[in-house]
Structure 1
C-alpha cells in the first residue's frame, strides 16, 4: 500500500506525520505505575530512564551530565562547544544569556553574529580530556559528541580520555559521504576500530538508517536535533515529521535484526520533543530512548540559564538556529521525576511516561512500542 500523494503532475510525495498528529489509546488492561519499568540498556550500560541530554551547550555541561547520570539518564557533552574552547566557559554562557535582542522575533542577526564570534575560539584538546575526566571521576557513564567533520581530528583524544559512549551527531549523517576535495569519514571502518559503542545520526528514513546500522553503530539518532532552536526547515528546506521518521527507522531496525542474525540497534529519537507527551509518543512509535534538548534546558541547573541554542546556530557560513528564550520550570530532578505543578508536560517527564505506560497496560519500554495509536491532529492542544 502506498501513501504517496500527487503534489502536481511532475512530483509525488509521501505523506508523513508529526508527533502532534498521533495519539496513543488505552487497551483492555491497565497497571499500577509502580509496576512499570522505564529502564534502558545500550551495550553494557544500564540506565534507569531512557533519557539522553542533547550535546548542546545550553543543555549539557560536565555538571549537568553528572547530575543527569545520577538521576538515571545519560548526559552527552558537546566536545566542540564552549566547554572545550574556554577554560572558564561560565562567563561566556552568562554573556550569551545576557544578550539583548533588538528583534521582535527570535531571528536577531546581531545575536547570531555574536554567537559565531564566541564559537570561533579554537577547540583545545587538553580541555576535551579534562572535561571527560571530570565526568568520569563522578562515577557516571561518560558520553561525548563530535560532528562528522571533527571526528577524525579529535576522536583519539576522546577515546584516550576514557569516554564510555561515543556520539557522532550532525544535521544529517550518512554511511557514505561523497567529496571530491576531502577524505570522508569511513564510518564502518571507524566504528569497527573503536572499542566503545557508537551512536550516530541524524537519520530520518528507512534506507539511510539501514545503512547506518550496517556500519556497526550501537544506536541511530532519528531526526535532525535542534528542536525549538533549529531553523533548518526554513534555511535548508529539510524537515522530518518525527512520528513517521521514528516508525520508518524502527522498521529498519526490525529488518536489520533479521539481516544480521539478531543484532539489535537502538533507535533514539532526537529533536522536537518539548514535553512529556512527545516523549511518550516517540517511544510508542518505536524509539528505545529519546535525546532531549529544550525539555532539559528548562531545568534551573541548565547552563543556558533559560535560553536554548544548538551548534546549528553558530555555523560560520550558514547558521540554522536561534537563541531561543524558553524559561525554567524547576530543578533537573523536578523536570525528570517531579513533583510537577505544571499542566503542560514540562516537568515530571519520566513520571508521565511511566503513567502512560501503566494506563495502556504495558510494563516495559519494548512492550510499549506495540501500543495502539490513532491519527489525532489536535493542533488546538498547542495553545
Structure 2
C-alpha cells in the first residue's frame, strides 16, 4: 500500500513523519525501571548510555567530551571548530554568546576564518585520551583527507565523518572526491558516517564499510536548511527508512550489523524515546546537551552551517541552561518539559512498555498521532 499523496497533477510525494507525529503504544507487560539496560556497543567500544554528543562548538569542548565519557556516553569533538583553530578559544566562545542577533553570523564567519592547525587536532584528542575515556573526533567530508592522518596519529578510537549530507558517490568536476569505501578500508579504526536520510543513501553508506550511519538532514535546532535550500526530511520516517536498510544490509552482507544513529530532532526525552522506537541504536544530541551549565555555548547553540563562508544554512539559537550535564542525563528533574533526566525518561518508557533492552524496544508498536498541544519551541533539535 502506497502512502503517496498527490501534490498536484504532475507530482506526487510520500508522506513523512517527525517525532512529534508519532507516539509509542504501551504493551501488555511492564517492568521495573531498575531492570532496564540502556547500554550500547559499537565495534569493540561499550557505553552505558546510547548517547553521542554532536560535534558542535556550543556543545563539546575537550573538557565536556571527557565529562560525558565519564558519565557513560560518547563526546565527539569538532576537529574543524574553535578548539583546533585557537590555542585558547574561551574568550571567543564568550563573545559568540554575547553577540547581538543581527551581527552573529557575520562575526562568526570572521572568527571561523582562522585556519585549522593540525598540531591542535593531535593535542586536543590526546588530552581526551589521557583522561581515560573513548576518543572520538569529527571531520567534514571535504576535510577528511587533509587532516585524517593527524586524527589517526593522535590515537582516536572512533572516527566520525559528518556533514549535512554525505554520500558514497560524490561527483565533482573540480577535485578528486573522497573515496569513502577505500578510505574506510585503509583505516584501522571504526568509522561513523552521515548524514543520510533515505533508504538508498544509507544502504550505499553501509556498503562502504562504515560501522555506523548518522541519520538526519536539516532537522536540528540550529539548522535553516529547509528555509535556505528547501531540503528537509522528517526524522521519524528517516530513521525508520535507514533501519530498513540496516535490516536488508544485514542479509546482504551475511550478518554485518551497521548501527543507526539518529542525528537531529532529538532535543527532549520524548524524542529520545521515539528515536529508538522507530529503529535507532543510538542518538546524537546537540541542543539537548547545549543546555548543560558546562556547555561551551553558555546557553547558545550553533553548528558549522551557521558560519559557512558563502552560504550559511544555520543560525545561533538561544536554548538556555537547564541544569548540569549530569542533571540533563540522570536528573533529578525539576521541570516537566523533557530537558532533564533524559536517561531516566528512556528507562521509564522502556519499563512502562515492558522492554529491558534497546534492541527489543525497537520492535515497540507506534501510532501516528500528530501533536495536538501548543507549538513546541523551535530549539528542540
Return the TM-score normalized by structure 2.
Answer: 0.98
Number of the residue aligned with 1:55: 55
Aligned length: 376
SS of residue matched to 1:46: strand
Number of the residue aligned with 1:104: none
Q: Deviations over 1:119-167 (max 9, x none)?
A: 0000000000000010000000000000000001000010011100000
Are 2:344 and 1:351 aligned? Answer: yes
Q: Deviations over 1:91-137 (max 9, x none)?
A: 11011011123xxxxxx3x2100000000000000000000010000
User: Do the aligned residues in 2 keep the contact of 1:226 with 1:309 (CA within 8 Å)?
Assistant: no
Number of the residue aligned with 1:78: 78
Are 2:368 and 1:375 aligned? Answer: yes
Separation of aligned partners in 1, 2:327 and 2:104 = 31
Match of 1:153 among 146, 149, 153: 146
Deviation at 1:227, TM superposition (A): 1.2
Separation of aligned partners in 1, 2:264 and 2:306 = 15
Are 2:166 and 1:173 aligned? Answer: yes
Separation of aligned partners in 2, 1:378 and 1:191 = 41
Q: Deviations over 1:34-74 (max 9, x none)?
A: 00000000000000000000000000110000000000000
Q: Which runs of 5+ in 2 are unaligned?
A: 377-381
Number of the residue aligned with 2:68: 68
Deviation at 1:382, TM superposition (A): 3.8
Number of the residue aligned with 1:128: 121
Deviation at 1:225, TM superposition (A): 6.0
**CA RMSD between the two structures:** 0.8
Number of the residue aligned with 1:262: 255
Number of the residue aligned with 1:339: 332
Are 2:209 and 1:223 aligned? Answer: no
Are 2:135 and 1:142 aligned? Answer: yes
Number of the residue aligned with 2:285: 292
Number of the residue aligned with 2:379: none
Separation of aligned partners in 1, 2:321 and 2:152 = 34
User: Do the aligned residues in 2 keep the contact of 1:229 with 1:310 (CA within 8 Å)?
Assistant: yes
Number of the residue aligned with 1:116: 109
CA 1:225–1:291 in 2, change beyond 3 Å: closer, same or farther?
farther
Match of 2:196 among 193, 203, 208: 203
Separation of aligned partners in 2, 1:276 and 1:339 = 13
SS of residue matched to 1:157: helix
SS of residue matched to 2:52: strand
Separation of aligned partners in 1, 2:354 and 2:243 = 21
User: Do the aligned residues in 1 keep the contact of 2:218 with 2:232 (CA within 8 Å)?
Assistant: no
Separation of aligned partners in 2, 1:120 and 1:225 = 23
Number of the residue aligned with 2:15: 15
Number of the residue aligned with 2:294: 301
SS of residue matched to 2:69: helix
Are 2:31 and 1:38 aligned? Answer: no
Aligned pairs for 1:308-347 within 5 A: 308-347=301-340
SS of residue matched to 2:138: strand
User: Do the aligned residues in 2 keep the contact of 1:20 with 1:379 (CA within 8 Å)?
Assistant: no
Separation of aligned partners in 2, 1:245 and 1:67 = 30
User: Do the aligned residues in 1 keep the contact of 2:219 with 2:234 (CA within 8 Å)?
Assistant: no
Are 2:238 and 1:245 aligned? Answer: yes
Number of the residue aligned with 2:87: 87
Deviation at 1:379, TM superposition (A): 3.7
User: Do the aligned residues in 2 keep the contact of 1:225 with 1:270 (CA within 8 Å)?
Assistant: no
Separation of aligned partners in 2, 1:36 and 1:118 = 45
Deviation at 1:224, TM superposition (A): 2.3
SS of residue matched to 1:192: helix
Q: Deviations over 1:300-339 (max 9, x none)?
A: 0000000000000010000011110110011000000111
Separation of aligned partners in 2, 1:259 and 1:226 = 30
User: Do the aligned residues in 2 keep the contact of 1:78 with 1:146 (CA within 8 Å)?
Assistant: yes
Q: Deviations over 1:184-242 (max 9, x none)?
A: 00000000000000000000010000000000000000002661111011001110100
Separation of aligned partners in 2, 1:229 and 1:174 = 22
